[in-house]
Structure 1
Amino acid sequence: MRKEDLVKTLEQQLRAVKAERQAAKREPALLAARTALKQFQSARLAHSHADLLAAPNSRAAALFFLDELYGAADLSQRDADLERIVPTMQRVLPLHALRAITEAIVLDALSERLDTAMARALGERFSERDYIDAYRTTTLHADRDSQLTLVKALGDSLCELVRLPFLSATLGLMRGPARLAGLGDLQRFLENGFNAFKHMRGPEVFVASIVGRERRMLDNIYGGRPRPFEVGD
């Protein structure tokens, strides 16, 4: 895919994410429900992948996935930063780096939409059983499968990025200007993802492990199996 196509997709998805988050902020009950849902999902992911979080080799990458892609933090500032410098990124970033950023935002947009659907059904207080039922009845299996496909694509892109020469130096040179321009959140996101994968042995195995587990859980939920989150490697 050309840079021009990636930029078009990135801009579209940033608008979709922004609209979803702004709509939630106009409804206090929905915002509270979405926050509760994200906190539940973050805790569930930390439990399901506790071994990856505990292992020194994969801890940084696991934290990046949980905090930056599935976490409960408000990422509005990061996305606003992205909107401001899309033309600059098109000029200075290599194709692989721009693709990874675009994949992250496409994933974010889909996840936000699915979270909103579930939050409307669950409200602010719910049990694990309520969560499982809402997951199955308010979101489509195909959308959840796409979500995991995007996770794998992003993980694979990060694995490729760490092999690019000079990218680490380029990110380092961007740090000062990014802070001065008020783009610290975006710079932190880029550096955290790159560094987490750069210093990990066998990043492809890490990505396959997370996606494989989550896909088995997905099949368990839609298959109506008891204790769907109990899966092994």
Structure 2
Amino acid sequence: MSKLAALDQLLEQYKQLNYHQDPALKQRLNDAQNWLKQRILQTHAELFAEDKNKLMAQYFINRLYGGPEFDDLALQIERLLKYAHKAEKIIPENAIKTGLKSVGLAVLAMQLDEQVAQYLLQHYPKDQPITDEMMRETLVALDQEQARHEQLNLLDELGLSLDKYMRSFIMHTAFKMCKGAASKYNFELMYDFIGEGFVAMKPMKSAATFIRSFTEKERIIVNNVHSGKENPFQIA
């Protein structure tokens, strides 16, 4: 079986999202994700401000938490799957494994955020700016607590994979040697998606340590929301 078979399943999940055929839902999804990203930037401002963490912070915001950037990547993944035998020769196996985890996280983020967007559309005017209270009410109503914890668990797993597979000099060298072939077969976006993980890790001693610092605070927020705490997004 192709090492990229799991990508096919993830792509199918992505295609099933309703926002592809619903402009109003797509706009509300963008609004919800922008709210989330701004909230994350505020919550983790101190962590993200450290010089060694800045590139990984960008990777989180632009890659792992979905958004319009993922749409173009999904189109390239679909093309890549048609040439899986070539892609598997081009991209090192451990890079593929780690890339799969990253893509899986991005798809999960899109699924959860689309649920949020659908609820917002159904219960609030479509052009009403999203407030903290609107988001709190929405998350409580959707009862995403378990799913959000699973999302954070998967992030922790990604951190371990990045440290285990992506710090090897041999792996990094082999990956860089694939750049020309990736360009030849038009797999640049997928290559860059994985490659940004390499670049983001370089200034850090451990990606897993950074991610654990991130997920610890995110778990507090999830627990705050679902325990009925006032101002759940405001934590020290």
Superposition TM-score, scaled by structure 1 size: 0.88
**Equivalent residue pairs, number:** 227
SS at match of 1:58: helix
Superimposed CA distance per residue, residues 102-152 of structure 1 (whole angstroms, 9 cap, x where no aligned partner): 112222222222111110111343211101111121143211111111111
1:167 and 1:145 map into 2 onto residues whose CA distance is 31
1:42–1:217 Cα change, 3 Å: same
Unpaired runs of at least 5, structure 2: none
- Counterpart pick for 1:217 among 200, 221, 229: 221
Asked if 1:16 is matched to 2:13, the reply is: yes
SS at match of 1:226: coil
Unpaired runs of at least 5, structure 1: none
Tell me the C-alpha RMSD between the 2 structures: 2.0
2:50 and 2:207 map into 1 onto residues whose CA distance is 13
Asked if 1:47 is matched to 2:51, the reply is: no
Asked if 1:135 is matched to 2:134, the reply is: no
The one-letter code of the counterpart of 1:44 is R
Give the alignment of 1:1-233 within 5 angstroms.
4=1, 7-20=4-17, 23-86=18-81, 87=84, 88-123=86-121, 124=126, 125=128, 126-232=130-236
Preserved contact between residue 101 and residue 158 of structure 2 (Cα < 8 Å): yes
1:75 and 1:51 map into 2 onto residues whose CA distance is 27
1:184–1:95 Cα change, 3 Å: closer
The one-letter code of the counterpart of 1:60 is L
Moved more, 159-168 or 38-47: 159-168
2:120 and 2:192 map into 1 onto residues whose CA distance is 33
SS at match of 2:169: coil
Preserved contact between residue 29 and residue 114 of structure 2 (Cα < 8 Å): yes
Moved more, 147-156 or 91-100: 91-100
Preserved contact between residue 30 and residue 119 of structure 1 (Cα < 8 Å): yes
1:89 and 1:156 map into 2 onto residues whose CA distance is 24
1:103–1:6 Cα change, 3 Å: farther
Moved more, 179-188 or 33-42: 179-188
Superimposed CA distance per residue, residues 25-63 of structure 1 (whole angstroms, 9 cap, x where no aligned partner): 311111110011111111111111111221111111111
1:6 and 1:224 map into 2 onto residues whose CA distance is 43
1:5–1:218 Cα change, 3 Å: farther
